[in-house]
Each structure stands twice: as structure tokens, then as C-alpha cells.
Amino acid sequence: MIEFKNNFNNLLKNIISNYFQLFNPHKSSKDDIILRVERMTIKFSILSNFIALLGGKIKQKQMISGNMADILSNLYLSYSLIWYHYHFDKNNILRDECINYLMQDAEYKMNLIISNYPISTLKPLLYPIKNNIKYTNFEDKNKLYNYILNNEELNSVFTKDIYYVNTVLEKLEKISKMNKTSEEYKKLYQDIIKVDEYKC
């Protein structure tokens, strides 16, 4: 009983500490993407403590535990991207777009868990950690597309384990480097968009 009381008190202290960090953040970085991941980590820590209060019932709530696992995976991948780009690749265009995608997915799943949290008396305490979902910016998508298209090193990574010889992917890569006014471009363009007749 004493051990349970001590553990429960530690849980409450951890929840209060995390709420304090959430509302009084210490900015460890000027990088908005890193701050977004750190903020999501604090929210996940708070949510994990509330999920722990379900005790053995968590085994019956497989949708909740599954979504919690997805959020943890997204955080792990986000920190991996931050580490990799810090040490090896200083261009953050690809990093930012990937992390934004991971955070959007994590934020949606966190909101889903909060909406389905089964202890109604504690549910209002989770509302402060609900997320305002940020949607994809098409301009950023275009920047990313152009960055990948013009980066030979990335292209070689993406095509390394993909069979694309004599496929439409190879044709698309080839046409992207052609002069749009050339006859060769027009011929290949027609070849890509054409629909072959069905032969009986």
C-alpha cells in the first residue's frame, strides 16, 4: 500500500511538472520544428500518465494503446530526423516536411485518444493538450518536390532499390530533364499519357 501511494504521488508530480512545462515552456532551440516536436513530447508524457491510470483496462482498449504506439513511433522518427540532419545534412527542407507530416499524424491521433478517453471525470484535464491541427501547405510541398527533383544524391537514394528500367518512372525522370519545345519531349510526352487499346 505504501509503495502504491509513493508511485501514485510520483505520477501526480510528473503530471503537474509536465503541465508546468507545457504552459511555461523553456525554449531550448530557436528552430520551430524542434520546438514543435518537444512540445508534442511533453503532451505525450502527460497523456501517457492518464493512460496509466486505466490500469489493467488498457488491455481492453486496443485502439487507444495502438494509437499511443503510433504517436511514440512518430516522435522517435522525428528525433531521428533531427539528429541525422544536425550531423549530416544541414538543408532542412526535407527534414521539416517529413517532421510536419509525422506531427500532423501524431496530433490527430492524440486528439482521437482524448476524445475517446473512458474516465469521464478526468477527461476535462486532457483538453489543454488537445491540438489545433495544422494542414499541409501546398507551397511547401512544391518546394520539396523541386528540391528532390534537382538533387541527384536524393534521386539515387530513392531509385536504389526500385526497379524502374523501361517503366513510366524512368520516362518521367527522363522527360523532366528535356527541353519542353523539343520534338523528343513531345514524342515522349505522348508516349507517357497515351492509353493503349485493349487487344482481344
Residue 31, in any domain of the structure: yes
Q: Same domain, yes or no, for 61 and 134? A: yes
Mean pLDDT computed over 66-93: 91
Q: Same domain, yes or no, for 190 and 93? A: no
DSSP 77: H
Instruction: Round the average pLDDT of the chain to a whole number and report it.
Output: 83
Q: Same domain, yes or no, for 102 and 155? A: yes
Q: Same domain, yes or no, for 44 and 134? A: yes
How confident is the model at residue 76, as a pLDDT? 97
pLDDT > 70? residue 29 = no
Report the Cα–Cα distance between both ends of the chain, in Å, rounded: 79
Q: Same domain, yes or no, for 149 and 166? A: no
Q: Same domain, yes or no, for 22 and 99? A: yes
How confident is the model at residue 30, as a pLDDT? 73
Residue 13, in any domain of the structure: yes
Q: Same domain, yes or no, for 143 and 176? A: no
Q: How confident is the model at residue 188 (pLDDT cuts 50, 70, 90)?
A: confident
Selected residue with higher pLDDT from 200 and 167: 167
Residue 86, in any domain of the structure: yes
Grid cell 499524424 — which residue? 105
How confident is the model at residue 106, as a pLDDT? 96
How confident is the model at residue 44, as a pLDDT? 94
Q: Same domain, yes or no, for 167 and 143? A: no
pLDDT tens for each residue of 110-142: 999 999 999 999 899 888 889 888 777 888 888
pLDDT tens for each residue of 1-23: 777 667 767 767 777 776 677 66
Residue 200, in any domain of the structure: no
Q: Same domain, yes or no, for 98 and 186? A: no
pLDDT > 90? residue 57 = no
Q: Same domain, yes or no, for 95 and 28? A: yes
Per DSSP, helices labelled H in 88-193 are 93-115, 138-149, 152-159, 168-175, 183-193
Q: Same domain, yes or no, for 59 and 31? A: yes
Enumerate residues 6+ apart whose C-beta is below 8 A from 95.
Answer: 33, 81, 82, 84, 85, 89
Three-state DSSP state, 167: coil
Selected residue with higher pLDDT from 1 and 190: 190
| Three cell numbers written together for 19 | 503541465
| Three cell numbers written together for 45 | 508524457
How many structural domains comprise the chain? 2
Residue 80, in any domain of the structure: yes
How confident is the model at residue 75, as a pLDDT? 97
DSSP letters spanning 139-166? HHHHHHHHHHHT-HHHHHHHHTT---TT
Measured torsion, CA atoms of residues 72, 74, 80, 84, in degrees rounded to the nearest 10 = -170
Grid cell 503537474 — which residue? 16
Residue 178, in any domain of the structure: yes
- Give the structural domain span for 172: 162-195
